[in-house]
Structure 1
Amino acid sequence: MFGLSANLAVRACARVGANRKTAKLKDKPVKEFKPTSADYDARIFSFREKDWTVSLTLMNGREHIKIDAGNYQRGKLKGRKPTSAQLCKHRDGNYYIHIQIKDEAPEPIKSTNVIGVDFGRRDIAVTSNGDKWDGKQINDVRDKFSRVRTSLQKKATKGIRSTRRRARQILQRLSGKERRYQQWLNHNISKSIIQDALKNNAALAIEDLTGIRERTNQKPRNKTERRRSNSWSFYQLRFFLEYKGIQFGVEVIAVPPAWTSQTCHQCLHVGLRSDKRFKCTNEACSWSGDADFNGAKNIATIGAVFVNQPRGSNCLCCELSTDSSGLLKSLRSPLAGA
């Protein structure tokens, strides 16, 4: 019916089957497939390093196409024999070949040292080593894009015909720009944190913030605050840390965040948090300082308990038998004495 070769038809069926299986797990139907990409395996794709070409089976048979690869891509493909790829047509009208290569993940570093990472909106990430990344710039970018979108959407519905057409074109061009900036920022932050863990021969403990949007959206807030909260990309940062941890052999542990921001990391007594400041109410301690740094220290403490206890296999996420508040209370006596 469509003039496809047998192997191309097999790949099309596999694409549909995989998407329907994923949709079934998420309980969402597959509505349509856009004609923007095609999967290739070893039978219909090959890469040749000597002249930097790819061989693809197309509608009219096998074609050898020269690729325009940068230095980064050439370094990754040098001496490799990839067996799968994806041919994509991007919005600019050009065709790109996404070549997939596989590497064996190194064994995770065995260490009792743990670095805690506290996620937030004002400070995107704060580590127990004292490093932090301010979130003011990304908040300003989001606010700017929100104002521009609101203005263009009004013009796209109420202006004259040429104005409406121009507004829709600009909206389409801006689509994804904010997302790409956030992705670039999270890549840089996660890379810095993983490199710090490698330098200190440490594992990473991060907050498991699953379901935080559903919980916070139940509270009464204004429209701006709701938009800022729902655009917080904490899960993307966690995902980047996890896959970079696998790549470089850094163990990443997700721990429950309960009470980590309200407990003093030195004496493990509940203190007072006001905005970005934390003050311990224990007279024998009276520690005060940055609240997110204090939370990162507590996250590192919980992560150290998991790292130092016997385990049967390596994993990315731990399920503690008690919540962090109970764990912190159980640690209070020995750590306070120490």
Structure 2
Amino acid sequence: MSQVVRGVVARAKGEPVTIENIVVPDPGPGEAVVKIQACGVCHTDLHYREGGINDEFPFLLGHEAAGTVEAVGEGVTNVAPGDYVILNWRAVCGDCRACLKGKPQYCFNTHNAEQKMTLEDGTELSPALGIGAFIEKTLVHSGQCTPVDPEAPATAAGLLGCGVMAGIGAAINTGGVGRGDSVAVFGCGGVGDAAIAGAHLAGASKIIAVDLDDQKLEWAKDFGATHTCNAGSTDPVEYIRSVTDGNGADVCIEAVGNPKVYEQAFFARDLAGTVVLVGVPNPEMKIELPFIEVFGRGGALKSSWYGDCLPSRDFPMLIDLYQQGRLDLDRFVSETISIDDVEEAFHKMEAGDVLRSVVVLP
């Protein structure tokens, strides 16, 4: 029997979200119904509401979540009812050319639930990143469920489902930050601070945080930044060179998704250094760089997809680090809110007042 539960819906571009009754079908083959315990308010959800991802309204928002598997469909063997899981948007297929090359973190054929959740009038919903987790219960593909230690609170664990994993992975997986490296992170929101935390975990010797907001720069220090630069008053390229013996950083991570900021990251790296783009640009943005500089500086320009993570490998490992006290996921949680407060949380996010608002479900 299908269930009717409350969820957060964006009906049209730029309009405030609404709380709606959502019909969640029983799980079909390969699917699972998950009772959501907590879900972070990620900037990607705001992108959906603003039409920055696509125009497949109405959207069921929310994707950065943890909860308990309630039911599974035919053929599901990777999870069972009662399992405590973090949801992910990279359910790898195992059959595409990336998976067959042994690189499932780049899977080109990730998949979601086949059935659709709907409004009570039958209108089909587009779940954010194939998840839709600002809801009491959601329907996903079982491959989107990664079991982790149930002792980890959902308010912290769920953050690995998107922003924190993206940032940590941008530093460690994509950027390859290693012991003694110098790292510059441009943009110190949730993803940027996670990149700082990842660089700190990896043993970077200098971690330079760049932002326009002094409060965010203070927060960045809590995650491991050794130097800070307010780009509104100081040239970040010159500053980064000044604290790296005139060379530039080994790894520069752009966590904004802005062409001008990317250009700064490009020129702030050392020769043969790496630039990692993990900030999400909008489809209209373009960038122009001197081609001779692309050639002459060597190194690598990389884009980080979901922190190039493999959830089955990375989520349990990061939860272990959290439980050992080596990764402070709780520090990302600025406030806990109810499902009715998501619209206000978007406003706080836009104002830069929070790192993460986290919806706690009853």
Greater Rg by CA: 1
User: Shorter-normalised TM-score: what interval?
Assistant: under 0.3
Greater share of residues in strand: 2
Greater share of residues in helix: 1
TM-score (norm 2): 0.21
